[in-house]
Amino acid sequence: MELIGLAAKKAIMLVAFSVSRREAGELVYEAAISAARTRFRPVTMTGLCFIVGVIPMVLASGAGASSRISLGVVVFSGMILDSVIGLLFIPVLYYVFESIRERFGPPAVAPVKRARKSAKASSK
């Protein structure tokens, strides 16, 4: 469960940053590249800390070691795979799906800004 949760969290961080760069006026390609460059270190450090934290499970010995080792190897290798592939594919998938949405989807509507009521109107 932790592996899936951390992989999803890292992907959400990259996509959220891409969306914020897109809203700032960057092109889809630039937003995806900018997110990958900016979030590379935090995402990598998160994955690396998780990988290092699982090493004792991979090297377990004693009673019940076989279950800890089998779980540790899966989580260890899955996190390495997520760290490598996730940083490559998430920006690419964001670019592909955002380009498709912009080309074939409904036009984006700018958020409506609500006018603030003046102090005089609210005091009546």
pLDDT tens digits, 27-62: 999 999 998 898 888 888 888 998 999 999 999 888
- Predicted confidence (pLDDT) at residue 84 exceeds the cutoff of 50: yes
Q: How far apart are CA 71 and CA 54, in angstroms?
A: 9
pLDDT tens digits, 103-116: 888 766 554 454 45
Q: How far apart are CA 124 and CA 119, in angstroms?
A: 9
Longest dimension (CA), the chain: 77
Architecture of domain 2-106: Up-down Bundle (1.20)
Tell me, what's the pLDDT at 33? 92
Q: How far apart are CA 12 and CA 32, in angstroms?
A: 13
* Alpha helix segments (H runs only) across the chain: 2-23, 28-38, 40-58, 65-104, 119-123
Contacts 24+ apart (CB under 8 A), 25-31: 28/94, 28/95, 28/98, 28/99, 28/102, 29/95, 31/94, 31/98
Instruction: Please give the model's pTM, rounded to 2 decimal places.
Output: 0.71
CB atoms under 10 Å from CB of 46, counted, come to 17
